[in-house]
Amino acid sequence: MKTFKIAILVGSLRKESFNKKIAKALIELAPENLSLEIIEIGNLALYNEDLEQELPIEWQQFRTAIKAVDGVLFVTPEYNRSVPAVLKNAVDVGSRPYGKNNWDGKPGAIISVTPGLLGAFGANHHLRQALVFVNVPVMAQPEAYISQVGNLLDENGKLTSDSTRDFLVKFLNAYAVWVERNAG
């Protein structure tokens, strides 16, 4: 059985980020054929085409990391009914320069995470729109909206909810099938 290398991009930079805690749970729950790793995006300079002339080393490293993976999981909070700027910036940096889109054809999936009630629905769907343009085939089902996340984790950031754990395992198993079907 082939093992697929999967990047996880976390759209929250906060030290005690709920999104990062869920990303770490995903790593623990992943099926054997998925090797998940968080790729940090907080150090990427805001995309500016002028910087392509003297490419920031962080951009080079990020683009190389994305090029090397078979797929990408996006774990995102919602800021003002949309995607956090850091995550959208990572999408932009990875898709440039024009004609050298590092996302091209990499199977993706989105998990939106919030302490609120709506499951960060707006961020999830805004991110899907951007990913369509950079040719990331995003898994449609099951959708993953994790609400009231503060009630699902213990003081060490570990999942305490069996139903959430079971759902994430189901989600990851479906994503593994998606990657196998769509990875180049």
Residue-level pLDDT, tens digit, the chain, 184 residues? 899 999 999 999 999 999 999 999 999 999 999 999 999 999 999 999 999 999 999 999 999 999 999 999 999 999 999 999 999 999 999 999 999 999 999 999 999 999 988 768 899 999 999 999 999 999 999 999 999 999 999 999 999 999 999 999 999 999 999 999 999 7
pLDDT for 43: 97
Using alpha carbons only, give the angle 166, 1, 31 rounded to the nearest 5 degrees.
15
pLDDT on residue 38 = 98
Q: Find all residues with CB under 8 Å of 164, minimum gap 6, and list them.
A: 146, 152
pTM for the model stands at: 0.96
Which of 102, 90, 106, 101 is CA-nearest to residue 139?
106
4-182: what fold?
Rossmann fold (3.40.50)
Q: What is the pLDDT of residue 117?
A: 80
The reported pLDDT for the residue numbered 92 is: 98
Partners of 38 in the β-ladder:
8
CA distances from 112 to 5, 8, 184 (A): 21, 13, 26
Q: What is the pLDDT of residue 160?
A: 96
Distance CA 167, CA 10 (A): 19
Q: What is the DSSP string of 142-180?
A: S-EEE-SGGGTB-TTS-B--HHHHHHHHHHHHHHHHHHH
- Report DSSP letters for 75-113, one per residue: EE--BTTB--HHHHHHHHHHT-STT--TTTT--EEEEEE
- For residues 11 and 73, the answer to whether their CB atoms sit within 8 Å is no
The pLDDT, as a whole number, for residue 119 is 66
pLDDT score at 167: 97
Instruction: Say which residue the tokens 């069996």 belong to.
Output: 162
Q: What pLDDT, on a 0 to 100 scale, did the predictor assign at position 57?
A: 98
**Sequence spans of domains, the chain:** 4-182
